[in-house]
Structure 1
């Protein structure tokens, strides 16, 4: 995949200011290489001779989107599916939450201009307690189980030496290894993000150095009217042999439900204020919870299954029925899960109102989620939960840039910023679903117009069709 050095001009476009300022109509955005070199009124920006010019009258430009929680599957030679789906959906940056060798190869090839894909920030192996929740299903995947301080410190060194950008902490880390992990990561200057630990009160974890927390299922004990008792219930979770994750998931659900029914606004306010004070971000992945909580969340007739391997619908059906639904849900359980999902959405709105840094992420490829497409679904849910369209857009643009320490080079449409852009046919501030009305994408200065975007989707569908069917539980 070659990239041109010819300057590109996007003319007569409305620029969305994701910092919250007014949109700027009739602008020209001038790009050279992978950098924005000018943004200004179309009547004033001088377009150099030989520039590739695209008239975008009536269209809108905003920064390329960032999905802050993905799991991109594939091998070293299979670069036609996930990267293509991200770019076709305007997702120009992803945070990969489980380090795999092919992700580093994709990044090398993308940075060298040999393939078209998003910028990526890549985790190391999952660092979990013992038994690790996923070790039974992914024997060849990078998982580090730690039970001592020394093992935790070694895990940080292994993660950094492996070229990862951050340490991924998981749910079953014990107290001693968890705090050793954070201490060693601080010494080696590598961030720690991931799940909360079941075994340590969340309030303690927020101030300990972990920079972001993922998902909403671990939040509730810390928002109850009896935090100590509910955190103790969380700490008593003990996955049984056979299928650790499924058993753990069921026990977490039971603690969630009891905690939600003991919800305390005072406890929640104190917790969210602590997030703000410690500058800790939250990535709620509401679309993942929708797939799990809502009986209809995993659709087996979705046309986007054309972008997944043959047999994915059967695998998703198995996971939905046997893991998420525990072999079947009664009408009472269906009602409970729906109410629980409503609580999750309300909690995200409360976090946003309190000033917590909310990051848009999806947890693709959780069953029911489609890479690239899922981020637009997440934005819908954020707005439906109570965030303004501006706040939702910021959660997928400026806030990720700030969190990643890249706000000087990305996150807004300004001179000097990276040329990662999304061109829309309608105003996303008027209706967040307009983020799906994609006309073109610019990825590292490469203009992907409507025809090429269509070819990307066709290529992704062909790549998916050629894949071997997934096995149940993969």
Structure 2
């Protein structure tokens, strides 16, 4: 069933994020070009862009730049497919009201949180004001605001009496019955959501409150009828086990609360069900530091590192994500260094940023790689992360549909 769902996702016509293509044609020249994970880089590369698509990519010996094209000199820099952040939130008050905020302000906020770090695609994993998020997405989709393709789960839901302690005094939507879950999911997806999210176990400040398994199954089945992915916040051991049993596709975090490392049997179970994992490792560091708790050797941090590292080592699917927007510190270098500390290689991190999410969310035919015919969603880095993983965050340009939406010399 899960294999069939993934196949259906890959065939889905994903028009919700379409953006007006750039009218000009131009060329990026001179960079070291990483076309996709696992492939050797092209030295002194040339990438030709026309009408928001890549029309040629190769070395300067293979691809000639037509005389009339505008040229962006990327000599000494590194060119990759645009990055995905598969866990963000546009929930801070600064995004409201999205339908009327000045373009310049929204562009700057996008730079601060998203585009300044190379992200051309993001998945918003919980909106507290869904109409506002739809308004923001509409302005980006139209090309008025310079931003990424925005996918969203809309409004999430939690178990009965399961609103997380860290969002109080807000109270999230609680569901206790399978029929209510199916109806809620259908309403969300018909309103334009690209997936759904639940807390399969929710921290109430005293314990991880479990979602009834039948509710998870009903919600997942309803979403899968629409060929949409299901995300779960697992919190702890109970939560990820309920998520797997209930048909969830993506864990929005590891499950370090309770400090239970993942065994080989646990990892086999996760892989058997083709569950993807979003690490959000900086989240745990940020939470500990915010509360004045030492990070070094803290069991929350070490458990999260173990779970992510063990899953990646076993071949489990990792999707890059940071929980930025809930995490108010937008800087991102820590996420890369923590992923490396967990044991992930350059290619594994590169995959989590590009080809893995493009495939998981049904866009692999046109996104995630640099090749003829692919979307011109690109990131230019100032230095090579293959030599220092922190360089993934040293962004010179972010390009969406052939349009520069961020450049480091014009912040």
Normalized against structure 1, the TM-score is what?
A: 0.72
Which segments of 5 or more consecutive residues in structure 2 lack a partner in the other structure?
A: 1-18, 203-210
The 1:34–1:185 alpha-carbon spacing in structure 2 relative to 1, beyond 3 Å, is: same
28, 46, 58: which one pairs with 1:10?
28
137, 140, 144: which one pairs with 2:169?
137
Partner residue in 1 for 2:243? 205
Kindly state the Cα deviation for residue 26 of structure 1 after the two structures are TM-superposed. Answer: 1.3
The 1:51–1:449 alpha-carbon spacing in structure 2 relative to 1, beyond 3 Å, is: farther
Partner residue in 2 for 1:92? 120
167, 181, 194: which one pairs with 2:219?
181
Please tell me whether residue 126 in structure 1 is matched to residue 156 in structure 2: yes
The question of whether the paired residues in 2 share the 8 Å contact of 1:360 and 1:378 is answered with no
- After TM superposition, the structure 1 = structure 2 runs for residues 47-196 of structure 1, keeping only pairs within 5 Å, are 47-72=65-90, 73=92, 74-75=95-96, 76=98, 77-78=100-101, 79-85=106-112, 86-99=114-127, 100-134=130-164, 136-138=168-170, 143-170=172-199, 171-172=201-202, 173-196=211-234
Tell me the alpha carbon deviations over residues 13-33 of structure 1, each in whole angstroms, 9 at most, x when there is no partner.
Answer: 211143211111111000112
Tell me the alpha carbon deviations over residues 346-365 of structure 1, each in whole angstroms, 9 at most, x when there is no partner.
Answer: 22111111111011111112
Query: Which is helix-richer, 1 or 2?
Result: 1
Partner residue in 2 for 1:275? 270
The 1:354–1:383 alpha-carbon spacing in structure 2 relative to 1, beyond 3 Å, is: same
The question of whether the paired residues in 1 share the 8 Å contact of 2:78 and 2:380 is answered with yes
The question of whether the paired residues in 1 share the 8 Å contact of 2:125 and 2:152 is answered with yes
Please tell me whether residue 404 in structure 1 is matched to residue 361 in structure 2: yes
303, 309, 317: which one pairs with 1:349?
309
Q: Secondary structure, in 3 states, of the residue corresponding to 2:263?
A: helix
Partner residue in 2 for 1:436? 393
Tell me the alpha carbon deviations over residues 253-282 of structure 1, each in whole angstroms, 9 at most, x when there is no partner.
Answer: 5xx14xx3xx5xxx6111111222221101
The 1:144–1:189 alpha-carbon spacing in structure 2 relative to 1, beyond 3 Å, is: farther
Tell me the alpha carbon deviations over residues 199-254 of structure 1, each in whole angstroms, 9 at most, x when there is no partner.
Answer: 956345325321101222x35xxxxxxxxxxxxxxxxxxxxxxxxxxxxxxxxx5x
Q: Secondary structure, in 3 states, of the residue corresponding to 1:124?
A: coil
Question: Rg: which structure is higher?
Answer: 1
The 1:416–1:149 alpha-carbon spacing in structure 2 relative to 1, beyond 3 Å, is: same
Which segments of 5 or more consecutive residues in structure 1 lack a partner in the other structure?
A: 220-252, 299-319, 458-474
- After TM superposition, the structure 1 = structure 2 runs for residues 180-259 of structure 1, keeping only pairs within 5 Å, are 180-196=218-234, 202-216=240-254, 218=255, 253=257, 256-257=258-259
For this pair of structures, how many residues does the alignment match?
370
The 1:114–1:387 alpha-carbon spacing in structure 2 relative to 1, beyond 3 Å, is: same
The 1:144–1:162 alpha-carbon spacing in structure 2 relative to 1, beyond 3 Å, is: farther
Kindly state the Cα deviation for residue 447 of structure 1 after the two structures are TM-superposed. Answer: 2.4
Tell me the alpha carbon deviations over residues 346-399 of structure 1, each in whole angstroms, 9 at most, x when there is no partner.
Answer: 2211111111101111111234521xx33x431221012211122112111111
446, 451, 456: which one pairs with 2:403?
446
What is the alpha-carbon distance in structure 2 between the residues aligned to residue 117 and residue 57 of structure 1? Answer: 26
Tell me the alpha carbon deviations over residues 292-346 of structure 1, each in whole angstroms, 9 at most, x when there is no partner.
Answer: 23xxx34xxxxxxxxxxxxxxxxxxxxx3xxxx6xxx6xxxx5896243123212
Please tell me whether residue 413 in structure 1 is matched to residue 408 in structure 2: no
The question of whether the paired residues in 1 share the 8 Å contact of 2:213 and 2:246 is answered with no
Kindly state the Cα deviation for residue 104 of structure 1 after the two structures are TM-superposed. Answer: 1.6
Partner residue in 2 for 1:466? none
